């Protein structure tokens, strides 16, 4: 038989590097049709392998999704890390971090929703993902800590929770254009600045210390 597929990069065996190929194809499908629109058979067909082939690399459909979440979290992490690099003042960094969070969500809506789905973000999430998530939280924690130099650990945690909840809420609502319906805007970045100004976020945090 021998399918005439072009081998993507380093060819080690039978059909090519199936595991990575599956992840790549699945990521594309998720980006286009969302996690609920992904079927293992479609992924397999895309790469021109049998429907059962994926099961030699992933125990489950859930495991494949988990792999997508993993690379998604890395991408997310890079975006957040990049965002705090160019700002000098702590407040600016916090703002930039929030904007980057929301921008990532709106630019990768399906990926973001998968990453945040209960199966991978809840307390029953796989351990390797928890580690990646911890890295993301560190960025926020340190940024907040710089904004509140005299705060206690518990105050910092509360600050993180508040900042995270606000930004996460904006992200979730912005993805489905529900925020826009309430508060019409053209540029999401400036809209967020408005929101943050209105809520007096950084000022409010500092005032309570």
Partner DNA sequence: CAGGATATCTAAGCAGTGTCAAGATAAAGT
Partner DNA sequence: ACTTTATCTTGACACTGCTTAGATATCCTG
Measured from the CB atom, the residue of 122 and 149 that comes closer to a second copy is 122
Least distance from C-beta 114 to DNA, angstroms? 14
Interaction partner, residue 4 (DNA, a second copy, none; CB < 5-8 Å by kind): none
Number of residues that bind DNA (CB under 7 A): 28
- In total, the chain counts a number of residues equal to 209
In whole angstroms, give the CA distance from residue 149 to residue 69.
34
In whole angstroms, give the CA distance from residue 88 to residue 72.
28
Unique residue bearing structure tokens 């039978």: 14
7 sits near DNA (criterion: CB under 7 A): no
| Residue 17: CB atoms within 10 Å | 16
Least distance from C-beta 153 to DNA, angstroms? 41
Among the listed residues 6, 181, 186, 187, the single contact to a second copy using CB under 8 A: 181
Give the alpha-carbon dihedral of 136, 139, 144, 150, to 10 degrees: 120
Among the listed residues 57, 61, 135, 168, the single contact to a second copy using CB under 8 A: 168
190 sits near DNA (criterion: CB under 7 A): no
- Which residues, numbered 35-54, are part of the site for DNA (CB under 7 A)? 38-42, 44, 48-53
| Cβ atoms of residues 129 and 70 within 8 Å | yes
Interaction partner, residue 88 (a second copy, DNA, none; CB < 5-8 Å by kind): none
In whole angstroms, give the CA distance from residue 161 to residue 171.
15
53 sits near a second copy (criterion: CB under 8 A): no
| Cβ atoms of residues 66 and 27 within 8 Å | no
Among the listed residues 8, 62, 89, 190, the single contact to DNA using CB under 7 A: 62
Among the listed residues 36, 62, 128, 190, the single contact to a second copy using CB under 8 A: 36
Measured from the CB atom, the residue of 56 and 131 that comes closer to DNA is 56
Kindly list the distances between the CA atom of residue 41 and the CA atoms of 36, 45, 65, 104, 119, in Å, as whole numbers in the listed order.
13, 6, 14, 29, 21
Q: Which residues bind DNA (CB under 7 A)?
A: 1-3, 12-16, 18, 38-42, 44, 48-53, 55-57, 59-62
Residues that bind a second copy (CB under 8 A): 36, 113, 116, 118, 121-123, 137, 154-155, 157-162, 164-170, 172-173, 175-179, 181-184, 194-195, 197-201, 203-205, 207-208
């Amino acid at each position: 038989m021998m399918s005439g597929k072009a081998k993507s990069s380093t060819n080690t065996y039978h059909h090519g590097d199936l595991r990575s190929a599956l992840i790549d194809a699945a990521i594309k499908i998720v980006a286009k049709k969302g996690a609920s629109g992904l079927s293992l058979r479609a992924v397999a067909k895309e790469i021109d392998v049998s429907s059962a082939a994926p099961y030699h690399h992933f125990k489950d459909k859930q495991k494949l999704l988990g792999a997508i979440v993993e690379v998604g979290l890395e991408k997310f992490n890079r975006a957040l890390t990049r965002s705090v690099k160019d700002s000098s003042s702590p407040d600016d960094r916090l703002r930039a971090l929030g904007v980057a969070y929301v921008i990532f969500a709106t630019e990768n809506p399906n990926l973001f929703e998968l990453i945040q789905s209960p199966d991978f973000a809840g307390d029953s999430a796989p351990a390797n993902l928890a580690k990646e998530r911890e890295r993301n939280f560190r960025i926020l924690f340190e940024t907040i800590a710089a904004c509140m130099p005299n705060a206690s650990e518990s105050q910092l945690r509360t600050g993180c929770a508040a900042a995270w909840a606000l930004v996460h809420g904006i992200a979730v609502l912005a993805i489905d254009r529900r925020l826009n319906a309430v508060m019409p805007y053209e540029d999401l970045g400036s809209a967020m600045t408005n929101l943050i100004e209105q809520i007096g976020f950084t000022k409010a945090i500092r005032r309570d210390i």
